[in-house]
Structure 1
Amino acid sequence: MLKQWLFQQLPTTLLKKRRELLLARSSHTFYFASQQYLERTGNIYTICSKPPLLGSVMRRSPDLSVSLFPQTAKPYNSASTSDCYLILWLPTASSLQFRTKTVQNSKDPVWNETFHFMVQRRVKNMLELSVYDEDICQDEHLFTVRFDIARLPLNEKVLMYFNSDPKVCINSNNIGHQDAIDVPMFLPLCGYSSQTGLDVRLGYDLCRQEQDFLCKRKNIVAGSRMIPLCLSLLLYVFQVPVLAIMTTGGSTRSLTALYGSLRGLQKLNLLDCATYITGLSGTTWTMANLYKDAYWSKKDLNEQINEVKRHVTKSKLDCFSMERLKYYNRQLNQRKQEGQKTSSIDLWGLLIEYLLNDGKDNHKLSDQQEAVNEAQNPLPIYTAINVKKKYSTMDFKEWVEFTPYEVGILKYGAFVRTEDFGSEFFMGRLMKRLPETRICYMQGSNNNCCLFNRKNKQQLCRNTVYHHEEPHLPTRPHEQKTYLYTPAGPLSSAFRDVLTDRLSVAQYHNYMKGLQMDNNYLENDKFYTVLDSSSPNQLTPSEDYLSLVDTGFFINTSSAPLLRQERKVDVILHLNYSSGSQTMYYAEQGISFPKAVVNEDDKHLKECYLFEDKDNLEAPLLLFFPQVNDTFRYYKAPGVKRSESEMKDGEVDISSDYSTYSMTFSMEEYDRLVELSEYNILNNQQLILQTLNMAVERKKLLKK
């Protein structure tokens, strides 16, 4: 009561300058878009009579420290003790204010609490430290210190003073001369050039696990039995070509054909030479099945091929039985309770689980680390694209890659551990860990094009009408294209919404949520697929969820991860059905890729084509394998002709018998497609050897 009565008698100015003995400690972490971090620890020692605040600031690479300390001063003894707490606020980082605990009845309160903030570099950041005295009726605001964190220099030592208000002289109620209240603080700072403390990896370099994999895999490739066949002498490690197997989609057709291609590569001992294998759509089903076995490439593939044949040829009616429907309902409810969003794609993933397995498949993508930790198999890379609502796939798309180690969007260079994908993140930190998604759900998102494909309609129905104008003068760096904009009317907008609404979208929590990615991103030469997103307001970090669809919605290839400069792929075995559109896309994006143009005069496609860019040695060599039935109709094996009775086995009609929408094949259809795919690989052994030899010679030239 005495304390309350006493301060009722004091002028307002004096109340603001009441002197107490305080001790505070707080720590703050600041994140910048340039991938720098500042960690700040502060102590408020005393509020005393005439103590000048002297500060020392010193930045040592990679540490930055700021020390502020008072000169000798005598603390003021008030009529009663205070119940103080501290409020910290960084308005540019968060609208929330953070409060310490209240230290009751103490002139020497010690909080020893830690707070973390992340701020944007391009705005003025003022850190506010406010001290309050907790009272029954209303808490009293004692003072506030504001500090501009931009004032902290690098590699210099400076002195700083913090003064609260100018000196005043008040005589009231026998309270004598009152002087300025100085707030001494101790603020050591540490600066980091890496993402220490972040749960999202920012940068375009390969993760440490993949780099370790590459070192081990190069030794395996150099010692494989295939290399001596194509080269007359042993290779140094830096001369070992990086061979990648790139596949395309096509539902059950691509699932089946990939098994045949891999068996052909295994017979040529080329599986031991491959470093990567990428997939989308149906080929991800094959990859997911293979990598359940940690040593699948070292074993005979016939066992796996026969097991898959049993599932491909079985009746699919049981997937809609009452028992299965109840199972789907239980699994979707469980996924929802775990904190994930559910959609029709999750149901599609459960259907795939039944189509390819006898029961529940608990396999997760991170489990495949066991199959690559010793580099005993090629590293699998699964692909999808991220889209946006109300945008057609042609207007907005972003490549997403999945490996057993990481999941990331190539454009931003932002990656997260595979185990953490789907969990809740904010500003690069893991806020809530959710159980890792089972791989069957990811198979659903990687292969939903055949479930619901509106690609052509989306291209026709856009929110605006665009007319490209060809510039008469050379374009300026990063200049955006010019469009004639015609706003859509209500009828056309409604019509477009119906046609572009994607039922086949799998949504996951956006691990980039809250990160600032639009700071000079066009000037970053590592920023991938610039032309796909030329407007900062379209960038994904502003979204709550990632919306993933099958890559086949846009382009039927899984080559984007292989064209990252950090992977340095030398040869791509392109197991595809057509060319043209993807090479045009790469040319628009400025990605090094050979022009794959098939001569229109050829009445029949050949089994294999070799494409190279002679003007660009950094562009990979491309071995293009279209799925065609050329010499297979006459030969059952390379150099072995069919007999009259065997001619029927060579009749494989790819265009009619193996539709993308066919989920069931007969045993004969399955066997013939596997044999055709295997034959096309075996029959082009010499061209493959020639290409590997060319790759080694190109690496020698680049080394010079």
Structure 2
Amino acid sequence: MPCLPEIIVFVSDEQYWAGADCLLLQFAVDDALIRHGADGGILEFATLVQKPTVFPCDCYVTLHLPSASSEKFRTRTIRDSNKPVWNETFYFRIQTQIKNILQLEVHGDHLFSKNDVQVVVDFDLAKVQPGATVLEIFSLKPEKENSRNPEFLEVEFKLSAIAGPPEHLISNGVLVARELSVLEVIVGKEVNEQLLKAKKTVVLTVQESYEGTQKTTKDVDSFLFHCIKSWEPVLKVKIQSISHEEGTDSAYPLVLPLKQFPLGKEVKVHLPQEEGGALELYLRVIDWSQNLDVRLGYELCAAEQDFLHKRKQVVADAFSRLFNLRRYLPEDEVPVVAVMATGGGVRAMTALYGHLIALQKLNILDCVSYITSTSGSTWTLTNLYQDTNWSQKNLEEHIQAVKTQILRNKKNVISAEQLKYYYKELVERSKMGYLPSFTALWALVQEALLHNEPNESKLSEQRSAINQGQNPLPIYTAMNVKDKNISTFDFREWMEFNPNEVGFLKYGAYVRAEDFDSKFFMGKQLKRLPESRICYLEGIWTNIFTPNLLDSLYWSSTPDEFWDRWLKDMSESERKYSEDGGITVYKPPDTATGKLCEIFNDILTDRPLKGATHNFLRSLAMYKDYMQQSNFIQWRDTVFDESPNKLTPSSESLCLIDVGYFINCSGAPLLNPKRNVDVIIALDYDLNESFKQIKMFSDYCEVQGIPFPKVELSEEDRKNPKECYVFSDDSDPRAPIVVFFPLVDSSFKEYTAPGVKRTPSEMCRGEVNLNANSSPYQTMHVTYSEEDLDKLLNLSTYNILCSKDKILQALQYALQKRQNIWARG
């Protein structure tokens, strides 16, 4: 019989003396592997050695292994003791093909604080081999302090196997989906109605399920519980007064392990009542199909591969016309060209229109396969992609429509009538199951600013604009962050949205565009919500209200210093992980000052106007060797990446923000090696510093080991930037050529078009105010004068047109490189 994994944690009553007073914990842990055989272990002894506190304290220990149980276990509390001793046993069943990090916390109630965490230890159980005994000694203080006053934790682990059937897993080398079972419960209708009349309800709990606890109501007497099968779920049932306070713990008279029920067969169970009679429950346990609704994989999805095949035919024709090629380009020789736009509110939206017009006039737009955007530049694309053939048409019609919106008075967006509409819309969304958030309100206000009436289009509908490869594939970017207790600079993960899919670059996990916002568990869709209108996604991409105070302080003070600190933190984190293989955190006892610091930290890191979206990665496990996966490593840029219990799959919801709160650049999706991008036409709309964002992105890529050219500039270029720069890395053929366009008013002051000088009467039209402090194009401005609008459109168009030669040279070089690679291959 194959073996199943189980862990037993035993807290001993023995004492351990090391020449000083100490605390002793002794653990026994029993477990095994699951995929094709037996593998496992027992955690046997754990000893905590620590100097006694000045005052006696009430101590207890908590144990949490999120990969094996949602429950956080704790010992009993030892009262008024400097030398507490426990003798308790805890059981976990683990799957050794996933990353299992056991977290131990020692708590103590002091004179000045309650439930204070004294020590936190995270231990990777992969370091324990089946049948072996491992002794780990964790230092609880920095090295210098520990040498004077040593404090450490000793833990002895042993892993052993138990018998059981193998578990089928699905993994992409980073995330793992485990087997699920579904419990169907129907409560007897007649007795349930009697209970409700008596103001009582039936409470059903399966702690190992997605749903957790559910209760009967007037309209609900049947339930589904989706459970991780190998966690051996247990159904608990009790009858409770409706007025009973939430969270009050009372005994469950009926406890039913689901493994006792025959698979697929309905079973009737009786719950006796105090008043006599019995409540009837009808139960059925079924296995759930292993077909996932989340795509786990780093390859491009089939729809995008099909798009590229069709788009390369369009691009090949465009290159042939552009360079008068005498032969047809085979698909492998066709360069992949992308346009990369930054954010910047209405300024970015307007300037991107001007840039696209210019690329169209130069016959270069048909050479482009991807367009990425963020923040304000996303508004341009969501408008354009309602037209299935926009890139084949004159864009003047689109621009006239946008002009109407930018020039109009927008006072009505906060009228009483509009406020009623916002309220009604948000209430309806909440009833449908969407998570309420300030971001949704912002999305509606923003829509009113940019449109006369609600925009009914959806992201998935943009597929009709790419189904024949007739337009470039649009990609919209956002970042996932923690909603509190951590800044954007310590935790952020790139996300991309395109008409086919929405997903995480780092995890290699994607859902269909129409399924984003639906409810998921372990890679399966539990409840499909209707696809949101595009405005709600625009609210996410331009989510300017979700920085925490720490983010704001960073951007308003010394970004260069913070950037240097981030690089240092990342390198130290990587070194710490590689040397130790596990994380140990020592936290000294809290005092009144410590509590004040904790409150201040909450103020600094909380996001009061945060957004919330159902997490489609919820409960997926991390593969045991995920840290060795090259695609994951490429985007390993948060301090928590080596701590699987703190990564996104453990969160109930996503907190998505504008990427501008880290780097105002939409280029991350273009650096996916599967897209193999040769040339990036980078369009920057920053008013503050012309090269700041592209330089930050270049430095970021260098730290991550992502192929990207260095941005090196002369002092003259920094002081007086020109319209166009080309950055390349000849030493690394994987690095794209970057043709960079800062938002500058250089030769446009003197020329209306390339080679056409302005007359004295036209000179005023070449004066475009791009000063960050006084510009009419500041990010928070949503209404322009017609003169300012035309100036910005004409400037961005001119800057591309006058740089034609540099763009063509970059395209020609990419074509030659492709041909050389094809010839050698």
TM-score, normalised via structure 1 length: 0.72
Q: For residue 245 of structure 2, what is the aligned residue in structure 1? A: none
Q: For residue 387 of structure 1, what is the aligned residue in structure 2? A: 481
How far 1:697 sits from its partner (Å)? 1.7
Partner AA of 2:310 in structure 1: K
Q: For residue 511 of structure 2, what is the aligned residue in structure 1? A: 416
* Mapping of residues 299-448 of structure 1, within 5 Å: 299-388=393-482, 389-448=484-543
SS at match of 1:653: coil
Post-superposition Cα deviations, 1:404-463, rounded to whole Å, max 9, x if no partner, equal 01000111001001111101011111101111111101111111227867423268999x
Please tell me the root mean square deviation across aligned C-alpha atoms, in Å.
3.7
SS at match of 2:312: helix
Say if 2:548 and 2:605, in contact at 8 Å, map to a contact too: no
Partner AA of 2:496 in structure 1: E
Say if 2:172 and 2:508, in contact at 8 Å, map to a contact too: no
How far 1:28 sits from its partner (Å)? 11
Q: Distance in 1 between matches of 2:722 and 2:678?
A: 23
SS at match of 2:806: helix
Q: Distance in 2 between matches of 1:267 and 1:557?
A: 25
Q: For residue 58 of structure 1, what is the aligned residue in structure 2? A: none
Q: For residue 169 of structure 2, what is the aligned residue in structure 1? A: 31
Select between 502-511 and 556-565 the one with higher mean Cα deviation.
Answer: 502-511
Q: Distance in 2 between matches of 1:378 and 1:693?
A: 20
Q: Distance in 1 between matches of 2:543 and 2:702?
A: 27
How far 1:582 sits from its partner (Å)? 1.2
How far 1:503 sits from its partner (Å)? 3.5
Residues 360 and 130 (structure 1 numbering): CA distance in 2 closer, same or farther, change over 3 Å? closer
Post-superposition Cα deviations, 1:606-654, rounded to whole Å, max 9, x if no partner, equal 1111111111001111011101011101000011000000000000011
Q: Distance in 2 between matches of 1:667 and 1:467?
A: 44
Post-superposition Cα deviations, 1:479-516, rounded to whole Å, max 9, x if no partner, equal 58999988793223322322322234321100111110
Residues 550 and 115 (structure 1 numbering): CA distance in 2 closer, same or farther, change over 3 Å? closer
Residues 684 and 505 (structure 1 numbering): CA distance in 2 closer, same or farther, change over 3 Å? same
Select between 509-518 and 529-538 the one with higher mean Cα deviation.
Answer: 529-538
Q: For residue 630 of structure 1, what is the aligned residue in structure 2? A: 746
Say if 1:28 and 1:40, in contact at 8 Å, map to a contact too: no
Q: For residue 566 of structure 1, what is the aligned residue in structure 2? A: 674
How far 1:567 sits from its partner (Å)? 0.5
Identity in percent = 43
Post-superposition Cα deviations, 1:268-327, rounded to whole Å, max 9, x if no partner, equal 111111100000000011110111111111111111111111111111111111111111
Partner AA of 1:702 in structure 2: I
Say if 2:340 and 2:667, in contact at 8 Å, map to a contact too: yes
Residues 619 and 470 (structure 1 numbering): CA distance in 2 closer, same or farther, change over 3 Å? closer
Q: For residue 78 of structure 1, what is the aligned residue in structure 2? A: none
Partner AA of 1:393 in structure 2: T
Q: Distance in 1 between matches of 2:394 and 2:373?
A: 21
Post-superposition Cα deviations, 1:126-148, rounded to whole Å, max 9, x if no partner, equal 9955569979899xxxxxxxxxx
Say if 2:492 and 2:637, in contact at 8 Å, map to a contact too: no
Q: Distance in 2 between matches of 1:467 and 1:372?
A: 39
How far 1:476 sits from its partner (Å)? 9.2
Q: 1:611 aligns with which of 723, 727, 734?
A: 727
Q: Distance in 1 between matches of 2:398 and 2:744?
A: 24
Q: 2:628 aligns with which of 523, 526, 536?
A: 523
How far 1:92 sits from its partner (Å)? 8.8
Residues 519 and 38 (structure 1 numbering): CA distance in 2 closer, same or farther, change over 3 Å? closer
Q: Distance in 2 between matches of 1:575 and 1:626?
A: 6
* Mapping of residues 463-612 of structure 1, within 5 Å: 478=578, 489-527=594-632, 528-532=634-638, 533-576=641-684, 577=686, 578=691, 579-602=694-717, 603-612=719-728
Q: For residue 456 of structure 1, what is the aligned residue in structure 2? A: 552
SS at match of 2:478: strand
Structure 1: gaps (5+ residues):
1-26, 42-89, 98-113, 139-188
Post-superposition Cα deviations, 1:343-362, rounded to whole Å, max 9, x if no partner, equal 22111111111111111111
Q: Distance in 1 between matches of 2:586 and 2:306?
A: 50
Post-superposition Cα deviations, 1:534-568, rounded to whole Å, max 9, x if no partner, equal 32222100110011000111110000000001111
Say if 1:28 and 1:116, in contact at 8 Å, map to a contact too: no
Say if 1:263 and 1:678, in contact at 8 Å, map to a contact too: yes
Q: Distance in 1 between matches of 2:319 and 2:731?
A: 32
Say if 1:249 and 1:556, in contact at 8 Å, map to a contact too: yes
Residues 363 and 494 (structure 1 numbering): CA distance in 2 closer, same or farther, change over 3 Å? same
SS at match of 1:224: helix
How far 1:660 sits from its partner (Å)? 1.2
Residues 667 and 540 (structure 1 numbering): CA distance in 2 closer, same or farther, change over 3 Å? same
* Mapping of residues 198-217 of structure 1, within 5 Å: 198-217=292-311
Residues 696 and 424 (structure 1 numbering): CA distance in 2 closer, same or farther, change over 3 Å? same
Residues 135 and 374 (structure 1 numbering): CA distance in 2 closer, same or farther, change over 3 Å? closer
* Mapping of residues 139-158 of structure 1, within 5 Å: none
Partner AA of 1:594 in structure 2: P
Structure 2: gaps (5+ residues):
1-164, 182-205, 214-223, 232-256, 273-286
Say if 1:28 and 1:39, in contact at 8 Å, map to a contact too: no
Partner AA of 1:507 in structure 2: A
How far 1:681 sits from its partner (Å)? 0.6
Say if 1:392 and 1:458, in contact at 8 Å, map to a contact too: no
SS at match of 2:322: helix
How far 1:94 sits from its partner (Å)? 9.1
Q: Distance in 2 between matches of 1:495 and 1:653?
A: 40
Select between 311-320 and 596-605 the one with higher mean Cα deviation.
Answer: 596-605
SS at match of 1:610: strand
Partner AA of 1:598 in structure 2: L
Post-superposition Cα deviations, 1:216-256, rounded to whole Å, max 9, x if no partner, equal 00011101266533756542221110000000000111011
Structure with higher Rg: it is 1
Say if 2:750 and 2:758, in contact at 8 Å, map to a contact too: yes
Partner AA of 1:680 in structure 2: N
Partner AA of 1:699 in structure 2: R
Say if 2:292 and 2:524, in contact at 8 Å, map to a contact too: yes
Partner AA of 2:816 in structure 1: E
How far 1:366 sits from its partner (Å)? 0.7
Q: Distance in 1 between matches of 2:417 and 2:166?
A: 54
Q: 2:314 aligns with which of 187, 195, 220?
A: 220
Residues 435 and 680 (structure 1 numbering): CA distance in 2 closer, same or farther, change over 3 Å? same
Partner AA of 2:553 in structure 1: K
Residues 233 and 611 (structure 1 numbering): CA distance in 2 closer, same or farther, change over 3 Å? farther
How far 1:342 sits from its partner (Å)? 1.9
SS at match of 1:654: coil
Q: Distance in 2 between matches of 1:553 and 1:692?
A: 32
Q: Distance in 2 between matches of 1:198 and 1:470?
A: 34
Partner AA of 2:673 in structure 1: Q
Post-superposition Cα deviations, 1:317-338, rounded to whole Å, max 9, x if no partner, equal 1111111111111111111111
Residues 94 and 644 (structure 1 numbering): CA distance in 2 closer, same or farther, change over 3 Å? closer
Say if 1:29 and 1:40, in contact at 8 Å, map to a contact too: no
The list of structure 1 runs, each at least 4 consecutive aligned residues, that deviate by more than 3 angstroms after superposition, is 27-41, 90-97, 114-121, 126-138, 225-228, 230-234, 450-454, 458-462, 465-472, 474-488
SS at match of 1:401: strand
Say if 1:31 and 1:119, in contact at 8 Å, map to a contact too: no
Q: 1:692 aligns with which of 796, 811, 815?
A: 811
Q: For residue 47 of structure 1, what is the aligned residue in structure 2? A: none
Say if 2:522 and 2:618, in contact at 8 Å, map to a contact too: yes
SS at match of 1:619: coil
